[in-house]
Structure 1
Amino acid sequence: MTDELSAQIGPDRTLLLVDDDEPFLKRLARAMEKRGFVTETAESVAEGKQIAHSRPPAYAVVDLRLEDGNGLDVVETLRERRPDCRIVVLTGYGAIATAVAAVKFGAIDYLSKPADADDVTNALLARGDVMPAPPENPMSADRVRWEHIQRVFEMCDRNVSETARRLNMHRRTLQRILAKRSPK
């Protein structure tokens, strides 16, 4: 951790991470600890709200969709308990409507997955009108499309017909896409 980063974080280094993807949550917690944050993790809305009530952190990263509900409930609780908390909402289901809702609930930024620890740190520590720099290696449009199709496919319990219906595409077209390797 650099002295500059330490100064940006400030004296209260507490960070709440709420995500139901356990491997991602553990990786992000380790990465954020290396950057100087004192992390606490939660894998559900209920657990996140409980921590927000008992030990409201200075920073928070909250997944939008959790198994037991909407991460915006955690954002709302954090805003009530600690209005100065800097909150970033993460989601694998990026859409303008959910980004607007997250900001209305009090998030300072909204990042689409996959986001790395540098993206999260930059969003948490961004001040004022300074826009974060664009990512060094953004995903290609083909990769973004493939990721979206994979997420919907998993949401539909790997049911090709249901996924094709939700994506408004022909079932055989979807099968061809799913049979290919992921684009770079």
Structure 2
Amino acid sequence: MKTPDPVQAPALKKLLLVDDDEAFRERLAVAMKRRGYETLTAPSAAEALRLAPAFGPTAAVVDLKMPEENGLVLVKALRERFPNIVVIVLTGYGSIATALDAVRLGAADYLTKPADADRIHEALQGKTPSVEAPLPEVETPTLDRVEWEHMQRILSDCGHNISQTARVLGIDRRSLQRKLSKYPPNK
């Protein structure tokens, strides 16, 4: 009777990468392949949901901001279809509210861009940055800056429709126009 080899290669992870930025998506796919992942890329949530069943992903990296769908919708759909999938949300528009939404919907981590392949790999493995590693200096934005960024995000989500954005924010349309006409606060 042959005994099993004690050193076995780890199971290959099937990673679904969903980002509308083609250059970033393809560079990340190459980097993750080097780290032992079998990768499949998709430019949109709809395409990802179309391709996912045949691929059977065990992990996914999902961009939050995509033209047709919000990445959070995809997080929820992937977790429903693949209950054990590990989902990491990437965004250039980080906020506490969307981070909480992502985690509530089942994301394992929420990273702001630019996130390098090593950091994404660590997140997929469930590792957090070392406590001993120096944290980068982050300047806390002012309340005015946070408000301006929030208005810009809602405006974008509403297709740049001022009236609809004002209704969503619960403020007068003219007040919103005045706030948007100002330059963004520096910090």
Contact 1:14 1:59 in 2 (8 A): yes
Call closer, same or farther: CA 1:169–1:89 in 2, change over 3 Å.
Answer: same
Call closer, same or farther: CA 1:51–1:138 in 2, change over 3 Å.
Answer: farther
Contact 1:52 1:77 in 2 (8 A): no
1:31 corresponds to which letter in structure 2? A
Contact 1:16 1:61 in 2 (8 A): yes
**1:51 maps to which residue?**
51
* Cα distance in 2, alignment partners of residues 46 and 139 from structure 1: 37
* Cα distance in 2, alignment partners of residues 137 and 32 from structure 1: 24
User: Equivalent residues in 2 for 1:93-172 (5 A)?
Assistant: 93-126=93-126, 131-133=128-130, 138=136, 141=139, 165-166=179-180, 169-170=182-183
Cα displacement string for residues 123-161 of structure 1 (whole angstroms, at most 9, x for unaligned residues): 0001xxx6333676736539xx9xx98xx6xx799xxxx
**1:181 maps to which residue?**
none
Larger Rg: 2
SS of the counterpart of 2:77?
Answer: helix
Deviation at 1:165, TM superposition (A): 4.1
Call closer, same or farther: CA 1:36–1:73 in 2, change over 3 Å.
Answer: same
- Root mean square deviation, CA, Å: 3.4
Contact 2:62 2:87 in 1 (8 A): yes
User: Equivalent residues in 2 for 1:23-38 (5 A)?
Assistant: 23-38=23-38
1:94 corresponds to which letter in structure 2? G
Deviation at 1:74, TM superposition (A): 1.7
Q: Which runs of 5+ in 2 are unaligned?
A: 1-7, 161-175
**1:182 maps to which residue?**
none
* Cα distance in 2, alignment partners of residues 83 and 44 from structure 1: 21
SS of the counterpart of 2:94?
Answer: coil
TM-score normalised to structure 1 length? 0.69
Alignment: residue pair count: 153
TM-score normalised to structure 2 length? 0.68
